[in-house]
Each structure stands twice: as structure tokens, then as C-alpha cells.
Amino acid sequence: MATSTSTGILDDARTAEREELVELLTTAYWMEIETVMNYIANSVNPDGVRAQEIIESLREDIAEELGHAQQFAERIKELYGVVPGSEAFRPSQGYLQPPDRQTDIVHVIRGVIEAESGAIEHYQRIIEFAGDVDPVTEDMLIAILRDEQKHRRLFEGFLREYEAEGRA
Amino acid sequence: MATSTSTGILDDARTAEREELVELLTTAYWMEIETVMNYIANSVNPDGVRAQEIIESLREDIAEELGHAQQFAERIKELYGVVPGSEAFRPSQGYLQPPDRQTDIVHVIRGVIEAESGAIEHYQRIIEFAGDVDPVTEDMLIAILRDEQKHRRLFEGFLREYEAEGRA
Amino acid sequence: MATSTSTGILDDARTAEREELVELLTTAYWMEIETVMNYIANSVNPDGVRAQEIIESLREDIAEELGHAQQFAERIKELYGVVPGSEAFRPSQGYLQPPDRQTDIVHVIRGVIEAESGAIEHYQRIIEFAGDVDPVTEDMLIAILRDEQKHRRLFEGFLREYEAEGRA
Amino acid sequence: MATSTSTGILDDARTAEREELVELLTTAYWMEIETVMNYIANSVNPDGVRAQEIIESLREDIAEELGHAQQFAERIKELYGVVPGSEAFRPSQGYLQPPDRQTDIVHVIRGVIEAESGAIEHYQRIIEFAGDVDPVTEDMLIAILRDEQKHRRLFEGFLREYEAEGRA
Amino acid sequence: MATSTSTGILDDARTAEREELVELLTTAYWMEIETVMNYIANSVNPDGVRAQEIIESLREDIAEELGHAQQFAERIKELYGVVPGSEAFRPSQGYLQPPDRQTDIVHVIRGVIEAESGAIEHYQRIIEFAGDVDPVTEDMLIAILRDEQKHRRLFEGFLREYEAEGRA
Amino acid sequence: MATSTSTGILDDARTAEREELVELLTTAYWMEIETVMNYIANSVNPDGVRAQEIIESLREDIAEELGHAQQFAERIKELYGVVPGSEAFRPSQGYLQPPDRQTDIVHVIRGVIEAESGAIEHYQRIIEFAGDVDPVTEDMLIAILRDEQKHRRLFEGFLREYEAEGRA
Amino acid sequence: MATSTSTGILDDARTAEREELVELLTTAYWMEIETVMNYIANSVNPDGVRAQEIIESLREDIAEELGHAQQFAERIKELYGVVPGSEAFRPSQGYLQPPDRQTDIVHVIRGVIEAESGAIEHYQRIIEFAGDVDPVTEDMLIAILRDEQKHRRLFEGFLREYEAEGRA
Amino acid sequence: MATSTSTGILDDARTAEREELVELLTTAYWMEIETVMNYIANSVNPDGVRAQEIIESLREDIAEELGHAQQFAERIKELYGVVPGSEAFRPSQGYLQPPDRQTDIVHVIRGVIEAESGAIEHYQRIIEFAGDVDPVTEDMLIAILRDEQKHRRLFEGFLREYEAEGRA
Amino acid sequence: MATSTSTGILDDARTAEREELVELLTTAYWMEIETVMNYIANSVNPDGVRAQEIIESLREDIAEELGHAQQFAERIKELYGVVPGSEAFRPSQGYLQPPDRQTDIVHVIRGVIEAESGAIEHYQRIIEFAGDVDPVTEDMLIAILRDEQKHRRLFEGFLREYEAEGRA
Amino acid sequence: MATSTSTGILDDARTAEREELVELLTTAYWMEIETVMNYIANSVNPDGVRAQEIIESLREDIAEELGHAQQFAERIKELYGVVPGSEAFRPSQGYLQPPDRQTDIVHVIRGVIEAESGAIEHYQRIIEFAGDVDPVTEDMLIAILRDEQKHRRLFEGFLREYEAEGRA
Amino acid sequence: MATSTSTGILDDARTAEREELVELLTTAYWMEIETVMNYIANSVNPDGVRAQEIIESLREDIAEELGHAQQFAERIKELYGVVPGSEAFRPSQGYLQPPDRQTDIVHVIRGVIEAESGAIEHYQRIIEFAGDVDPVTEDMLIAILRDEQKHRRLFEGFLREYEAEGRA
Amino acid sequence: MATSTSTGILDDARTAEREELVELLTTAYWMEIETVMNYIANSVNPDGVRAQEIIESLREDIAEELGHAQQFAERIKELYGVVPGSEAFRPSQGYLQPPDRQTDIVHVIRGVIEAESGAIEHYQRIIEFAGDVDPVTEDMLIAILRDEQKHRRLFEGFLREYEAEGRA
């Protein structure tokens, strides 16, 4: 019934695209790993009643983001790439480092929004790239993108409240 | 009934010891975070039937080591320290970087043993230090130490088998 | 590595499309809410052994349709829209109002098919619209569309039986 | 052993009371349905850290209020009434429509208190009416009344805090 | 703070009322036990697709009715009565004996309705009697009464369908 | 591959044996039903600390014995028999009727042993009969027999203790 | 449809009755708290095989009685009262203090019966008072009353056994 | 609001495409069914310690592949097709038949890779075809495709190990 | 204590009987596999309210029959046989192929009865054969036989109803 | 192999130390009981959105502190002491009595910190005392100490926020 | 209805057979106990990746074999025997003692096969003996026999692999 | 940061202490294994109502003691020792052998106390020894010691009751 015998992105003929995709996924992988680190710190450091809501939110997110990282790692493997080790890590989330005072919640909220924005942009790029060649990766990215959009929207709401109260 | 009113390690009079303890715990925190990174990579990269056992073992360990990291982070907070952000990370597990061939399991086994040995040594030191001043931290460390000893013993057994077969 | 910095549908440059999407989602939201109301009524009113199967099916569907409504509401929020209150509700499912006799199951079956057809059409339209600009919404709609197709197909089968028996 | 053969409210001789009771329950049914609609909107729209507590509270309440509506519907059926369809719905909770600014939490709190007060009054009336003729309905209403009292008390406490802070 | 020291229905001064209540509860106990027997038989004997709905309904009811019986037994004990043994059993549900043909579902439906009507009447009587002297028993009976009303209503709906089809 | 086309006990040629088996199973069915009644009474009536152990044991047994009864009922149905209704019940466990004093535990223990012995004998008979013609029934009976042996052995131990203490 | 706008016991016009009810509930609250204390002690102190049954029973009761206390506390709050702190506690269960010998189980049994009798009397009084003005409180009390009656009946049975053996 | 009334692939106007899609799904259905058969055989037959890993992997896959088959069957039904019976089955996985020696694991591994490759190719074709006309089917196929890619990748790793050891 | 050292059916001296048993079990294995195929088709294809009961029943049966197949496969392995691959499959259930009209439920019911009858006969034969030499296989078959008898009895009841209504 | 036969703290020779330990544990027991009382009151009384976080925290703590109390009671028993009854209770947490205004959250926070500080000090003392003679008690205390440290740290963070906002 | 009053193996007339059966079961009991001991040792001692599969298998077996031992003990009791104490233990599994090198897996595999063969033989003997006099014991033994056959078959497969690789 | 590189008890320099510890743990291992044997026997043999409490207690203890044995075995392995096989077993609990009469509960109680006392002494010795060199083993032993202390205390209470009744 079938005449062609293509297996899509896994075809030998598609090595170049596959390697580019692996590179994009590796960047995404490191973004999630760095997010895990900074969410741990920011889910422990802050003081205060209102901080609890943010701590709660970040703590739940740690497991979710680690899961994203593992999904990226597995997809890299499936595309015949190699997941890098710790020496390849380069930090890029200067805005998420712990603030000077641990009651400065606005600093944390701004940091989370910036981190999520970075992730959203990068994942949009992968979706566009994968859209033509690899529907499985595209589908995986859309699901992850949704989580990040939801999370950013929540923290935008937090920020808006502080702005309305004149504290941000 | 009581005459002294000491709250132990949390006393103002013990600031110096507390800060030293926070420093030791921070090192431990980073060791666990780096282990998480390298166990993710090494639980995805290897090929082969026999590798499955190691992959399985490392994958379960990821959650456990992340849990250790979070315990360290919380104790740092309780001792009035601050958990550092991603920019403070410095890699030190050169031996756990991905090998050249993904079927080189012996490389992974050796890396795990070395990582666990490093952790065991450092945690022994904290136990000794905390033994005199902070029984809560001591108790927490002993429980974590046990996990690491168990894990190292398992991988020593793996190595012994490869040596017996003349492959390591 | 990246040159553009688009965050897709959430970009300021895309306000017009976002508002159109919010309007489409708001219509979808009200369709699901009305369905919830009418499925409650139709899962309680009918009499008879054979009605139990339909009652069972609709009762399970109430939670599902409410879930759809909440998904629509959350997406409206994420796209910077506002979920409307009860005063904005306008009924449009005349065909799903309770029949005169509570044993007239065929009336209920026909009503459900018509309601599901309306939903299917509207969701197809959103999928087409979102396909170009917002993959997250598109993906969410496809999953919901599937539920509605499945449900309509089931009730078409019910109708066919009654027709075969000469009762519809 | 028995001489009379009364089955209470279900007796043919009690049709008039049964119909009055069905009418009261139908009003209660619509109150709960409208509450569901407005709690969905108000559990999605608000922004801010402090709003999370209210969102959480309303979201849990959605399932509870839907459950109340279904209990009313089933009791209407048991009393030989018919649950109405969506065309019979008339909104009456003007005070629970979404506010202009999504950080105006006080508006939401006031709306919830007003809605719960309306429910409490109406359910008291049914309890009095049913007390003489239908202990099953009375018992069901007391249990529901309790939920509403508890919920109103919680939101009164919220309001009091805002008043104490001079924001309401 | 208290001047009287009455413990209500458990007072020595109330022996006569307590004994009358025990007698009423004993009758109720036997009604439930007989229902268990006949529901087992009628949940096994009938043949046919449509019978499955009734079988399902009765099978779930067995555990419920047994639970009622055990509640009656425990209340008898608490009121200083004695639960009778099997020799005191007298059957009274002639209408629930197995029909001649196992596809005669209408016979079963009518039997269930009659059994539930008998229970409803008797429980109303206990509620009236207990209302003045023993709120605990009254409360327990109202909850059980509700189950029986619901069950009878369901089977009335079954019967109505068969009547509408001209088979009953 | 097969030449005969026997379906064993379900064959038309085996009607006589099937009917005899149904009769034996019907007796067993009533034994279990009567046991359920008397175990309810005897799990509620007795007073005292030591009685709790027996109450506990009998209460757990109620569900088990009811399960046996339902297994017998289903097997009767599968062998083309009809499960009888409550009017066919004839009590035979005179020894399990409630004693005069509710602290007379020995009376209860003796009654349980006698009831279990009766069941063991009857089930042995069915096993012998079914052994030749119906392995499914035989297997079911062996499993039930085991429960009854275990239960009798337990109560024999109870009796022995009372005898050792000179109370039985 | 409604003309009056009463919210029952929560009306401003009913402040006096509400305060009296709060006082009654506060007494009930302290009774439960004291019971918790004494049941902890009496579920740990006694020695012996037979004591295990009582220990088991009291240990399960601790959670139940604490639950009652929390229900009372919440109802006090709902009726605009304030739950008192530990300084307002006055012991009144002299009969439940630990006996001299820890094998004196009869002492414990008698103490439990006396404590439960006190609770039963007080709750009857609240039921009567609330019956006219606050059906929610009445309903809550009847459910709690039932637990206490059941528990007292159990311990009366224990006592009866010891009396029958001539030890009490 | 809507002008067109298309229900997409379910439209009468799309019968031809629908039938082609049904044919493609039927082929997919049979591929999964045959995989179930051969995975059962290959999860039972092999001997050896190393075989356990493969047995484990295939056994888990049986349920997954059966689930895929049932998804295909349901989608065929929803598209107005008919799921074929056993007489329409034609085997095509010659490479997955049991090997001569049950310790020949390499034979099994090669067979699994070939089977998964065939599935991947065929599902790519359906995704392309459905991409234009039926987003629900497309979405379903992408999810299934992902499972097959993951599984093939795992077995490629197994093969690589055997090749590295010079056994394949 | 022991003199003989026989391990029963697993003895070398019993190879002939073992091979015969393996052949019988292989036939049984294929019967179950074919049943799985046809139950999937027949649990998806039929239309109508009444069909739901049959669909439900068959869908639950798929897992059960697959479980039987896996039990047969494992026993074949334990008796030193080899489970065959898909190429050895030969269909034999002509009566269970999908009917022309999907509302022809009687066709499905008849097919199920015939399939179950075939299984019952074949399993009786294995029981007889194994009874003398292999009690483990005998025991396993009796348990499976029971499932099939139960299932056939249920569908006979379905058929009887259709016959009573003059539709079969 | 062993020469000494000491059973440690349970030795007769250690009666004096055991009694001192029992006294220390009794004080600890009462501290936990008083904490339970005051946490119930303070988890019910406060009003306001921000109070919810504190209410939540205290409510979870009630079960935890009760658990501590029961652990202390059991250890007292194991050391041959007697758990005291309610008449021995003396309140000492004046700082945790309900404030005048129920929105005065700072009062509650300060009270919790003071209560936890008292517990921490006392438990440190027991740890020191037990460290030499009873490792089991020491270990139990360290685990409890950890809970109290964690809880105090959390409330210190709450206080810091209020101080930062100038409200405390 | 019954004339004979035999209770089978529990009859006084069958004392001799019962005692012989108790002796056989006692031997079986000790076989299982010794297996538990040796499986603990062999599930801990071995080193190596491949050993994990065997360790896993033995560890799961420990609970299973202990369960068998407890079943034997209970049946001994039910047959009026006495379960012996530890002084009656005599080891007989010389082949299952720990090997000299902990990587000598073949030694363990051979030991397990020999232990299972011994059990299989002994249980066959009990089955034959019990077949005539005690169907309950026979049934219990067949179920246990099945577990042992399955386990031996698995380890035979392990051995075969090592033989194929020339290591055994 | 660190200068020494000790891994504590696992250091090569500590071989002598490690071997002594292994020997102590091996003795502990056998004590637990023998306890398992004797608790099985003593949880099955005794007769009587009061014996149930002891049976219950011992039966739960079997799993706990087996768990202890497995913990000892694993720690032996981690310390580079070898867990011995069944031939190394030597019984030493003469006092726990089954008594002559199975209603002699006092014999069992005394035996348990003696066994627990022996364990407590030996574990104290290990704790002292390990306290200086191996905190992990020390911590493990303290936890196990606690279980044994608790269990002995319970049986001492049982004994005291029998002594008070003049039976021991």
C-alpha cells in the first residue's frame, strides 16, 4: 500500500536538521535545569505570609520543570544526540539570583516572569522549526509551552497587585 | 524548673559556629545539585540491556538526591543562611561527564563511585562538626550519609563484576 | 543564538488577533455552561430502564463539560481577557429543554446530537483561526473536539437503534 | 401492625404542598446554578497573591455548589416535579458580575457575602415549610444551610480584614 | 450550670417508651433482612439485557440494606433491647418471591415498589414516634428513609416506561 | 482435533445430576443466609471486654458468609436453577438464638461451632457429589469449606480456654 | 418571592440567644478537650491483655473527640463567639484521673461511663435549646450525641462483664 | 456569529477522504494486533538473565499496544467505518516469529526494531494525510508515534551493545 | 523420609504426555487470542442503547481473555513448550465476524455463546487429560472454565430476552 | 559472647535517672497538650485573607503536636512512669491566649514564636540529659526538636514581613 | 436432609491419617523456613549488574515463601497439630550456602533450582496423600506447587543462558 | 576546603573495627531470624479468646522482625561482610519453644520478654561500640532498639495482669 519508506526526522537523509534540533533542545534543557536551581533557592529563602503563596507555587513548579528537563533529555537521546554533563552548564538567569533582603518578594516575581518569558520565546522558536520536520517534538513543546504561559500569567497577576498597592 | 534558656545552635551566642555550618551545608547543597545534573545525563545517554539496570538505579536516585538538596536548602534557611542562586555554581565532577562511546558503562560506574565517595567524606566532616553543636543537623546528615553509602556499595559491586569479567 | 524575541500570541503586536480569539473562546465558554445546565436537567428528569444508560452517560458528561468550561475560562484569562458573569448568559439550546413526557427519550437524544454538532462546528472554527497564531489554544481545542465527536457518535448510535425499532 | 398507610409527602393527598415545595426547590436550584457560573468567573479573573486564597476558596466551592444543585434537582424529581431547562434561567446576582479592575478583591468578597445571605434566607424558608411535612427535605436543607453559613462567615472575616486596613 | 440530669431516652424513667421503640425497630430490622434475601434472589434470577440495569441496582442495594439492618440492630442494643435470632423471622413480602418466568421483569419492579412503600410507611411512623423522645433515632431514620424514597422513585420510573410500552 | 462435544454438567444429558446439585446448593444457600442473620444478632448482643474479640470475629464473618451465599446463588443460576425467595426460608439453627444473659459468651461459642460443623458436613457431601460431574462447583466448595474449617478451629480454641478456666 | 429577610440565628435581633448558645457550646468544647487529655492518659497507662481492648477503644476515640472539639470551636466562631485559650480551662473529670494500680481497669471503665453521661446530659440540653432557634447546631449536636451514646453503651457492657465476674 | 456550518471530516461532503482514512487506520489496527500477539510470545519464550530486561519491556508494551489498537478501533467507528473481525487478519511480521533457540535474544531485538520501523513509517503517512483534513486523528497519531519512536530507540541501544560485544 | 523422587509432569519420563498437553494448551491459547480480536471489534461496532450493556460486558472481557491467553502462554513455557508467533494463527470463529447492520445485536449474542461453548468443551477436555498427570494445569483450567461458563450463562439470558420479545 | 548484661536505662540500677527523665518528659507532655489547646483556638478565631495562611499552618500543626504528646506519653510509660490526668494541668502560655481583636494576627505570630522557643529550650535540655543514658529518648527528642525549629523559623519569617510593613 | 455426619479429615476416626499429614506438613514448613533464610542471604550477598535480576527475584520470593510457611503452620494447627519451635530446625540445603566469591552467580542459580526441585517433589507427595482424604490441603498444595514450578522454570532459563555463554 | 579524606568506617584503615562490627551484626541477624521462627509458631499455636491479643501482636511483629533481619543483612553487606547461610544457624531461645498445653499463655509471654531482653542487651552493646566509629549503624540500631523496648514493655504489662490475677 505504501511506496515511500520514510521514517521522518529519524531518516539518515535528515541528519542536518536533526542536529540543529538537538542543539535547540540542549539549550532548552539547560534553561530548565537552571530554573530548577533558582526555584529551589527562591522557594526556600523568602520570608513572610504573602511569600508562602509564591513558595508554594515555586515548589510545585520544581518537580514540573525537572520533568520538562527530563523530557528534553529523552528527546535529545531519541534524536541520536548526547545529553551534556555539568561542566557544560553556563548560568544566564542573573535576574533570579537571591535578593539582598529576603522579604523583597517583588524581586522574585520579576525574576520568574523574565525566566518564563525567555523560555516562551525559545520554545516558540523550536515549535516553528519542528513544525516542518518533526511533529512529535512540536507536540511535546506545545504542551510544555502551555505550562510556562500559565505560570507567567499567574506571576504577572502577582506583580499587578503589588503595583496597584504601590510597592513595585 | 529550668534555669538556663539556651536554644542551642540558634542562640545569638553561636553565630560563628552557625555560619561555619551554613558554609559546609552550602557545599553539600551544590554537590547534590551537580549530582542531579549528571545523573540525569547518565540515566539517558547509555545504550544496552545491561545499562538498563544502571539507568534504573540512577533515575530513582535523581528524586532522592534532589530531596537531599532540598533538605540542605531548608536547613540553611533554618540556620539563618541564604541559599545561593545558579551563578554561584561551580562544577567539580569531571569524572561524571558523558563518555565518548555510550556503551562505556564502566566509565559511568567509576564516576558514580567517585561522586559518592566525595559526598561521604564531606558528610562525615559535617557530622563531626555538628555532633558538638547541632544534633538536628547531625541526625539529618546521618540519614543522608546512609543513602550514599548504600549507593556506593551497590556500584562497587557492579564494578567488581566487570573486573571479574576482565572488562574494567 | 536567537535574534527575534517574539512570545507569539502574547505579543503586544498581536492584540487584535488575541481579542478575536478571546471572543471565540467566550462563545465556546457559554456553550459549555449551557450544556452543563441542560445535562443536569436531562440526567435527572427521564424515566425508565433504557433511560438509565443515557442518564449515566450525561451525568459523567457534566463533570467533563464543566471541565471544558473551566479550561476555556483559564485560557481567556491567559490571553488577557475577562470571563463574563451570569448576566451575560443568553440561552440558545431550545432543542434541549425538557420534553413534555419524561419517557420521551428520543427528544433528549436528538437534543444532545444537535448540541454536540453546534459545538463541533464552533470548535473547528477556533482550530482554524488558532492554527496560524496560537498553537497552545489549537492543541487544547483539538483535545476538546475529540470528546465532543465521541459523544455525538455515541448518541447517533442511540438514535439509529430507535429508528430501527420505528420509534424515532 | 400498622393501621394508617400514609407515605408522608409522597401521598396523593399532599399534592398541593408537594407542588409548593417543588417551586421553592426550583428557585434554590437556580440560585446554585447561578452561583456556579459566577464562582467560575471569579475564581479565574482576579489577579494578585492575596487573590489566590479567594480563588482557591471559590474553586473548591464550585464543585460543592454544583453538588447542591444536583441534590436539589434530584429532590425535585423525587417529589414528582420536573427540573427546568436553560431557557428558564433568569440572572439575579448583579453584585457578583466581574469588577472593572481585576485586582478589586473587595468587590468579589462583598458579592459572595450577598449571594450567601440570599441563599441562607431562602433555605431557612424551605426548612420552615418542610419541617411540618417532609423531614427528608428538611434534613437535606439543614446540611446545605450549614455549608453556606460557614462560607459566608469566612468571607465576612476577609471583609473585616480589608476594613481594618482601610481598603474597604 | 445544669440543674436537671436527664439523659433523655436512656433514662430509667423512660423504660416504656424505650421498649415501644425497640419493638418498632425490631420490625424495621426484619423488613431489611427480608429485603436482603429477596434482593439477592432477584439480583441473580432475571434474564436479559434490560434486566442488567435492575440487577445492578439491586446488587448495590444489598450492601445498603444490610447496612440499614446493622444500624437497626445496633440501635436496638443501645436502647437496651436484644436483637432476635433467625427463629423469630416471619416472611411478609409475598410480592417479591421469584416469578414463574425469569424474563418477567415487571413482576420484580412491582415487588420492589411495594417493599419500599411498606418500609417508607413504617419508617414514617418511627420518625413520628421518636420525634418527641429520641432525636438520635429520628435522625437515623430520616437518613434511611431518604434512601428508600430514592429507590422507590427509580423503580416507579422503570414501571412507567414498561407501561408506556404497553407491557405492564 | 476434538471428537466429542460435551460441555460437562451443562449438557442436556445431565439434567438429573444438575437438578440434584441445585437442590444441594439451595440448602447450602439457606445455611449461609441463616448464619448471616444469627451472626448479626450475636455480633451486636454480647456485653463485655472478652466479647469484643468474638464480636469482631463474627462481624468480619458476616460479609464473608454473605459472599458465600451470593456465590451459591450465582452457581444455582449458572446450573439453570432458580434462587428461592424469603417465603421458602426455614430456620434450623436453634443453638444460635440469643441467650438469656448477654454475657453468656460460651453459649455463643458453642452455637458457632455447631453451625460451622453443620456447614462442613454438608459441603463435604457436595464436594463428593460434584467431584464426579462438575469440577467448577467442587473447586468453589473446597474454597468455602476451608473458610468454615478455619473458623470452627478458632472457636474451638475459644471454647477450650473457657473449659480450662472451668466456665464452660 | 420572599418578603421577610431573616437569616435565623445569625440575625442581629437574635444576639441574646446566640450568646447563650455560644456559652453552652463553650462548655461542651471544654468537656471534649478534657476528655482528650484523659483518654490519652488512660490509653497509655493500663497494663494487661484485657486492657488492650479498652486502650484500642480509647485511642480511636481520641481523634473522634478532638474532632468534636474542633466542630464546637468552628460553630462558636460561626455564631460570632470567640474560642477561649488554655488559661480558661477548669478540670471537672476527677473520676478519670489515673488509678493507683495500672491494672485497675474497672476504675477506668467507670470513669469513661461517667464522662460520657455528663456529655450526654449537656448535649441533650443544647439540642433542646437549639431546636427552636438554630437547626444547624441542633443537627450537629444530634450526630455527636449519637457517638457518645454508642461509646457509653459499649463501656456499660464492659462493666457488666466485670460485675458478672465479681470483680467490680 | 457563524456562517459556514462545516463539521470537518465528519461532513457528508468528505466521504471519500473519510473512507481512505478508515482504510489507513484499519491497516494500523492490524499492525498493533499482530504486535500484541508476537510480543506475548516473545515476552514468554526467551531464557536467561539478560532476557528478563527485554521480557519486562515487552510485557509492559503489550498493554500499551493493545491500547493503541483500541484507540484505532474507536476512531474507525467515529469515522463511520467498521472494525474488521478475525478472518480479515493477515500476518506480516515474519521477522518476529519465535527463533529456534530461546536464548537467541538478538533475533528478538532485531524483530522488534523492524516492527517498530514499519509502524513509524505507516503512522507518518497517516499524519501527513490527516494533517489537512482531520486534526483529531492527526493528534492521536502523533501521540502514538512518539511511543513507537521511544521503543525503537531503546531496542537500537540494546542491539548496539550486542554488536559492541561481537554477538550480533 | 521420601523414597521416590518424581517431580510429576516435569519428569523426563513424561515427555510424551507433556507434549500432548502443550498442544492442547496451544489450541486454547489461540482460541483466547481470537476471542480478544473479535471482542474488540464487537465492543466497538454496535449501535444503540441496549448495545451498551453488551459493549460494556465485552470490553471488560477483553482484559480477562487476554489474561487467560497469557496464563496459557506461561504454562506452555513452564512445560518446556514454545509459544507460537502470529504466522501460526488460523481463524475459526466465523460466527463472530461483524454483522452487516451494526444494530444486529442478536448476531453478536449468538456469536459470543458459540465462542464460549467452544472454549468450554475444549477446556473440559484439557481438565480430563490433566486430571491424571498435572494438577497445576487442571487447577488453572477449572478457574478459567468458571469464567467462561459464567459469561455464556449471561449471554444466554440476553438471547432469551430477545426471543421472548420475538426478535431473535 | 557478652559479659555484661545491662539493658541500659531500663536497668533497676538506673531508677533515679529514669525518674528524672520521666519528670522532664511529663513537663514536655503538658507543653504539647497546652499547645494543642491554643492552636485549636488560634486556628479558628482569626479573621482575614492573610490569616488563612496562619490558620492553615496551625491546623496542620494540631495533629503533629498531638502526635508529639502521644509519643511523650508512650515513652513515659516505657520508662515505668505514669501519664498524669487533667487535674495536673497548669497553663503557662499566657502569650497565646486569644487577642482582643480577631484581626490582630501579629499577636498570634508572637505567641507561636514564644511557645516554640519554650519547647526548643526544654527539649534541648532533655537531649543533653538523655544523651548520656538513653539514646532512644534522645533520638525521639531530636526528631521532635526539628519540627519545632522548622515551625518557629516559619513564624519568624511571618513576623519579619509585618515588621517590614511597619505593622508589628 | 443429611444422614451421615462425617466432617472428613477432622473426624475422630481419621486421627492416624491426620497425624501423618501433620508430619508431612511440618517437613514442608521447615523447607520453607530454611528457604527464607537462604534467600535473604543470597538476595544480599551477590555483586554485579546481572546479579540484580536474581536479587530482585529472590527478594520478592522471600515474602512469598514466608507466606507459604505461614499457610503450612495454620493448616498444621487446623489439623490439631503443633507448630514446632526453633530448636527443632535441622538445615538440609547445603547447596544454598553462600559461595566463596560473591560474583559466583551460577552457584546461587544452581542452589535455587535444587531447592525448588526438592520442594516440588515433597509437595507432589503431599498432594497424592491428601488427594484421597483432605481436599482442602490438596488445593492449598497445588497453589503452592505452582509457585515453585514457575520459580524453578525461571532459574532453569537463567542457567541455560550461562551454559550457552560457556560460564556454567 | 577539606584536608582529610576519610570515609569513616569504610576506610581501609578501619578493617579491624569493621570486622568486629560485622560479627556483632551477624549475631543480631541470627537473633532476629530465630525470633521470626518462634513468633510464627507462637502466633499460630495458642488457643483462647485472650490469646488472640497476643497472636495479633506477634503476627504483626513477624514482619517487623524480618525487616530488622534484612536491615542487619544489608548493613553487613555494606560493611564488606558476608551474610551466613542456614547451616550456620544455632538456636538459643529455649524459653520460646511451644509449651505443652496450648492454653498456657503465660509461658509464651515470659518467653517473649526474655527474647526481647536478650535483644535489648545485645543492641545496647552494638550502639556503644558503633557510637565511636560508625554513626550510621548506631542510628539504625537505636531505631530497632526502640521497637524492642516498646514490645517488651507491652508484654511486661500482660504478665503483670496475670500475676495480679494469681495465674502466673
H4 or J86, greater pLDDT: J86
Residues of F in contact with L46 (CB under 8 A): 157
Q: How far is D114 from chain E (nearest CA, A)?
A: 31
Q: Among E32, D124, K123, C10, which Cα is nearest to I9's? A: K123
- Residues from D contacting E (CB-CB < 8 Å) are 1-2, 4-8, 10, 74, 77-78, 135-136, 139-140
Q: What is the pLDDT of residues C78-104, one digit of tens each?
A: 999 999 999 999 999 999 999 988 889
How many other CB atoms are found less than 10 A from the CB of residue A134? 23
Q: Which residue of J has its CA nearest to D155?
A: J48
Q: Which of C125, C142, C150 lies at the smallest CB-CB distance from H135?
A: C142
Q: Quote the pLDDT of residue L1.
A: 37
Phi and psi at residue J99, in whole multiples of 5°?
-70, 175
> Mean pLDDT for chain D?
93
Contact H98/I86, CB-based, under 8 Å?
Answer: no
Reading the block at residue A96, the C-alpha cell is: 533570579
Size of interface B-J (CB pairs under 8 A): 35
- Rounded CA separation I132/I130 (Å): 5
Please say if the pLDDT value at position L98 is more than 90: yes
Q: Binning pLDDT at 50, 70 and 90, where does residue G165 land?
A: confident
Q: Binning pLDDT at 50, 70 and 90, where does residue J39 land?
A: very high
Please say if the pLDDT value at position B1 is more than 70: no
Q: Binning pLDDT at 50, 70 and 90, where does residue C147 land?
A: very high
J interface mutation test: which of A43, A45, A47, A101 has the most J CBs within 10 A? A47
DSSP-derived letter for residue G7 is -
Reading the block at residue F105, the C-alpha cell is: 459468651
Q: Work out the angle at residue C140's Cα, subtended by the Cα atoms of residues C139 and C144, and round it to the nearest 5 degrees.
A: 115
Find out whether A146 and D33 touch, Cβ atoms under 8 Å: no
Lowest mean per-residue pLDDT among D18-22, D53-57, L21-25: D53-57
Q: Quote the pLDDT of residue C3.
A: 43
Q: Quote the pLDDT of residue K49.
A: 87
C144 or L11, greater pLDDT: C144
Find out whether K94 and L87 touch, Cβ atoms under 8 Å: yes
Query: For residue I94, what are the contacts with CB-CB under 8 A and spacing of at least 6?
Result: H87
DSSP-derived letter for residue H87 is G
Q: What is the pLDDT of residues I77-124, one digit of tens each?
A: 999 999 999 999 999 999 999 999 988 999 999 999 999 999 999 999
Residues of K in contact with H99 (CB under 8 A): none
Q: Quote the pLDDT of residue C8.
A: 87
The 10 Å CB-count burial string (b at 16+, else e) for F62-96 is: bebbbebbbbbbbbbbbbebbbbbbeebebbbebb
Please say if the pLDDT value at position K113 is more than 90: yes
Q: Binning pLDDT at 50, 70 and 90, where does residue D67 land?
A: very high
Please say if the pLDDT value at position I145 is more than 70: yes
Q: Which residue has the cell 531464557?
A: H47
- Rounded CA separation G37/G61 (Å): 11
Through-space distance between the first and last CA atoms of chain K, rounded to whole angstroms = 65
Q: Quote the pLDDT of residue C2.
A: 40
> Mean pLDDT for chain A?
93
K in contact with L (at least 3 C-beta pairs within 8 A):
yes
Find out whether L6 and B121 touch, Cβ atoms under 8 Å: yes
Please say if the pLDDT value at position K6 is more than 80: no
Q: Quote the pLDDT of residue C50.
A: 83
CA K77 to chain centre: 18
Please say if the pLDDT value at position C120 is more than 80: yes
Find out whether D138 and D131 touch, Cβ atoms under 8 Å: yes
C in contact with A (at least 3 C-beta pairs within 8 A):
yes
Positions of chain E with pLDDT under 50 = 1-4
Please say if the pLDDT value at position D38 is more than 80: yes
CA distances from E33 to I51, J5, J109 (A): 35, 62, 57
- Residues from F contacting K (CB-CB < 8 Å) are 27, 117, 120-122, 124-125, 127, 138-139, 142-143, 145-146, 149-150, 153
CA distances from D106 to D95, D102, D111, J56 (A): 12, 10, 8, 22
Positions of chain H with pLDDT under 50 = 1-4
Residues of L in contact with J77 (CB under 8 A): 153
DSSP assignment of F65-91 equals HHHHHHHHHHHHHHTT-----GGG---
Q: How far is C159 from chain E (nearest CA, A)?
A: 18
Contact C78/A150, CB-based, under 8 Å?
Answer: yes
Through-space distance between the first and last CA atoms of chain H, rounded to whole angstroms = 65
Mean pLDDT of F62-66: 96
Type of residue numbered C62: I
Q: Binning pLDDT at 50, 70 and 90, where does residue F3 land?
A: very low
- Rounded CA separation L106/D58 (Å): 61
Q: Which residue of D has its CA nearest to C94?
A: D87
Please say if the pLDDT value at position F7 is more than 80: no
Q: Quote the pLDDT of residue H165.
A: 81
Under the phi-then-psi rule, with left for phi > 0, alpha for psi from -120 to 50, and beta for the rest, what region is H11? beta
Q: What is the pLDDT of residues K62-109, one digit of tens each?
A: 999 999 999 999 999 999 999 999 999 999 999 999 999 988 999 999
Type of residue numbered F35: T
Contact C122/H2, CB-based, under 8 Å?
Answer: yes
Q: Quote the pLDDT of residue A165.
A: 82
Mean pLDDT of B40-66: 94
Q: Among J25, J68, J10, which Cα is nearest to L146's? A: J10
K in contact with B (at least 3 C-beta pairs within 8 A):
yes
* pTM of the complete model: 0.92
Q: Quote the pLDDT of residue A149.
A: 97
Q: Quote the pLDDT of residue L55.
A: 94
Q: Quote the pLDDT of residue H88.
A: 97
Q: Quote the pLDDT of residue L102.
A: 87
How many other CB atoms are found less than 10 A from the CB of residue F100? 7
Q: What is the pLDDT of residues J98-131, one digit of tens each?
A: 999 988 999 999 999 999 999 999 999 999 999 9
Please say if the pLDDT value at position J76 is more than 90: yes
Q: What is the pLDDT of residues G53-85, one digit of tens each?
A: 999 999 999 999 999 999 999 999 999 999 999
Q: Half-sphere exposure of residue D30, counting CA atoms within 13 Å on the CB side?
A: 17
Q: Where are the alpha helices (DSSP H) in chain L?
A: 15-42, 49-78, 105-133, 135-164
Q: Quote the pLDDT of residue A142.
A: 97
Q: Quote the pLDDT of residue G3.
A: 42
Q: Quote the pLDDT of residue J23.
A: 98
Q: Which residue has the cell 468443551?
A: I121
Mean pLDDT of B68-75: 98
DSSP assignment of K118-166 equals HHHHHHHHHHHHHHHH-HHHHHHHHHHHHHHHHHHHHHHHHHHHHHHTT
State chain B's maximal CA–CA distance in angstroms.
Answer: 68
Q: Quote the pLDDT of residue C1.
A: 37
- Rounded CA separation B67/B73 (Å): 10
Please say if the pLDDT value at position B148 is more than 90: yes
Please say if the pLDDT value at position C70 is more than 50: yes
